[in-house]
Amino acid sequence: MCRGNWSRKEEVLLSGDYEPLIPAFLDMQVDQFVLEYATPRAGEIAIIGKALAHKEIGLGVCNPRTSAVEAPEDIVGRVREALRYFRPEAIFLNPDCGFGCFAQRCVNDAETAIRKLQSMVAAARYLNDNAN
């Protein structure tokens, strides 16, 4: 679920937690929800965690609209919060809304996207190595 990829200005992009969508989510016959959580605009993961803990979550941990590269430690922190609700094998790391373009205007460059993905991979490796 994408909240918008047309600007780097957080204040103009869609915001609000997923609570109004929970009834629709519960009616969907899907195994996984891919949701943005790399930005505070998405609200707290507890709202989705309490309602959808029986599902898989594609957890957005990198913001494709910023040039700042998320530290692996920050990504690990987001995952630890998600682990309060979801089983480890039900959490999949991904960037919010991918690194796609809108109307032929990229909101980021390839080098930044690569560095963000490398940070995400480092966090995943750390979590995998420290799963016990």
pLDDT means over runs of 10, the chain (132 residues)? 60 70 94 88 88 95 89 96 96 84 65 92 95 72
CA-to-CA distance for 7 and 128, rounded, in angstroms? 34
The helix (run of H) or strand (run of E) holding residue 124 is: helix 110-129
Cα separation values, 85 from 22, 68, 91, 118, 129, Å: 15, 28, 10, 26, 21
Q: Is the four-CA dihedral 81, 87, 89, 92 of positive or negative sign?
A: negative
Cα 106 from Cα 85, distance rounded (Å):
34
Structural domains of the chain sorted by starting position, each given as residue range(s) with its CATH number in brackets = 10-129 (3.20.20.210)
pLDDT of residue 16: 66
